[in-house]
Amino acid sequence: MTKPKVFIARKLSEEVVNQFKESLDITMWEDTDEPVDRNRLLEEAERSDGLVTMLTDQVDQELMDRGKRLKIIANMAVGYDNVDVETATEYGIQITNTPDVLTETTADLTFALMMATARRLIEANEVIKDGKWKNWSPLFLAGTDIHHKTIGIVGMGRIGEAVARRAKGFGMDILYHNRSRKEEAERELGASYNSFETLIQTADYIVCLAPLTEETKGIFNAEAFKKMKNSAIFINASRGPLVDENALYQALIKGELKAAGLDVFDKEPIDENHPLLELDQVVCLPHIGSASVETRKAMMELSLKNVKDVLYGQQAKTPVNRPN
């Protein structure tokens, strides 16, 4: 029996990939750091039964038109805004993602980003490295407390709930806004459901964990930042396009907002000359929310398990759609 052909659009751990080579004929993009060349991805789609893609890969109609044999595209991320799910469903292609396995790791990073921003940890590190620590004074690099403050979580999915659990340990008051009420989270965590307007006006820390949709794109705009407390700190660990970056920059330099911590950006990688990078009160990370060795290997394994299952006639473990 001929093994199904699978192309992986980024170089993954050989340790993980080797587990699946007995049942799948796997070809893998050779470069660890650079995204797969678009033409190469289209060529591989033509001869593959399954693809493993990354957020940087545009899984659009052009690709699916070329991929006449495709039965599954496993997107190695929770989000799938890079995938034309509607077309995939119409073409009978299964789309999968990698929820759950990265929840706690991403929540760790989100809370760490909030703490680093509030307590000015990056600035403090640079002061020492630049040889500028000459003496001590009462307000030297004084940051903002986290404990017993109010956190407002926009997007109370799995990661939002995990962040809320961490906030509870810090004695924080927890507000959240979501498309639907999460009554279990309210009971277990003492979280309070609020409108978007009330949350951004009330919270000391506004944490964006909402998915990117047509409704949420640009939700954090100039109007939203103006409504926040001048002492508020904004954190985005979801998707860059939820934020108007120019409006964020203006709010920060005008003092309408105290600080921001960002793991994601509208255009990635962010340009090194981006104005947000000039501000000491902004902590920027290169989209590493789920970047622990353990979690990334779990994401690889789940993606390949989904591919194997679908190509051998079984149900995907984490389906995004129901193909026609």
Mean predicted confidence (pLDDT) in 233-243: 98
| Residue 271: per-residue pLDDT | 96
Mean predicted confidence (pLDDT) in 152-165: 97
Percent of the chain whose pLDDT exceeds 90: 98
CB 164 within 8 A of CB 189: yes
Q: Predicted confidence band at 206 (pLDDT cuts at 50, 70, 90)? A: very high
| Residue 1: per-residue pLDDT | 72
Q: Mind telling me the catalytic residues? A: 239, 268, 287
Domains 5-99+293-311 and 103-284 share a fold: yes
Q: How far apart are CA 155 and CA 49, in angstroms?
A: 35
Q: Predicted confidence band at 31 (pLDDT cuts at 50, 70, 90)? A: confident
CB 80 within 8 A of CB 320: yes
Q: Where are the domains of the chain?
A: 5-99+293-311, 103-284
Nearest residue to 303 (alpha-carbon basis) of 51, 29, 3, 83: 51
Mean predicted confidence (pLDDT) in 87-92: 98
Q: Domain 5-99+293-311 has what CATH class?
A: alpha beta
Cα-flanking dihedrals φ and ψ of residue 122, to 5°? -70, -45
103-284 CATH fold: Rossmann fold (3.40.50)
Among the ranges given (29-38, 93-102, 156-165, 169-178), the one the predictor scored with the smallest mean pLDDT: 29-38
User: Is 147's pLDDT higher than 90?
Assistant: yes
Nearest residue to 55 (alpha-carbon basis) of 263, 272, 248, 260: 263
